[in-house]
A = this chain, B = another copy of it.
Amino acid sequence: MKIAILGGTGDEGLGLAIRFALAGNEVIIGSRAADRAETAAQAVRDKVASARVSGTTNDVAVEQAELVMLSVPFAGLRATVSALAPKLAGKIVVSLVVPLQFGKGGPHAELVPEGSAAELTQQLAPEARVVGAFQNLSAHELLEPDHDLGCDVLVCADDRDARRSVMTLAETIKGVRAIDAGPLAYSRYVEDMTALLISLNRRYKTQTGIRISGIG
């Protein structure tokens, strides 16, 4: 599959680029600046010799891809999706975005009037097949291709086929089990849990993730 990762120059996007390239997908890293995207593509090649990966602008990346991952900061989500909306129509668009605020008391989830970053994305790109997933994965762990994640990816989407496709993609990552977490409106809980996980990472000096017990 041809996968564009917008914001693929950040650690989370880069980590997923590495994992998806490792699984044999063609990865196109998107950024506002093509040269930064190309530098990130080289970083993927340094970790995965066999990687089929390129770097270009967000615009071009979306045109080339079958599936688009949004790994941009929440503050930039609205502008990024609004500008690309016509090109996102009909494509699977995966939001990894977590609306986080870092205050004195630690990280907290920002209230999103639309419910979640994933639902905001769907509103801005109504013809995209929006999926919420991968919000809880540790970038630190993703960046090391041999590390076993040992956690679940909760996948939410109103489009059932898109949900299934992303579940299949998620399970190509070593140690990941995909959970069908239902409609897009459930993304909120998955996004928000990230604030708690980051605070646990600090308290326990580790990289945490979510597992759902009682399934399988």
Contact = CB atoms under 8 A, between A and B. Distances in A.
Interface string A77-113: 0000000000000000000000000000110110000
Interface stretch (A16-24, A165-173, A203-211): A203-211
A38 interface: no
Given A151-B213, A203-B180, A105 B185 contact: yes
B200 A196 contact: no
A215 interface: yes
A211 B208 contact: no
Most chain B CB within 10 A, of A105, A185, A196, is at A196
A53 to B, nearest CB: 28
A145 interface: no
B203 A195 contact: no
A186 B196 contact: yes
B206 A196 contact: no
B106 A182 contact: yes
A196 B207 contact: no
A193 interface: yes
B203 A214 contact: no
A209 B204 contact: no
A29 interface: no
A200 B213 contact: no
A215 B203 CA distance: 10
A215 B210 contact: no
B212 A200 contact: yes
Given A109-B189, A189-B192, A182 B210 contact: no
A199 B213 contact: no
A138 B182 contact: no
A-B pairs with the 3 shortest C-beta distances? A211-B211, A209-B213, A151-B213
Given A154-B196, A204-B215, A210-B210, 9 more contacts: A108-B185, A181-B196, A186-B199, A189-B189, A190-B196, A197-B212, A201-B214, A208-B212, A208-B214
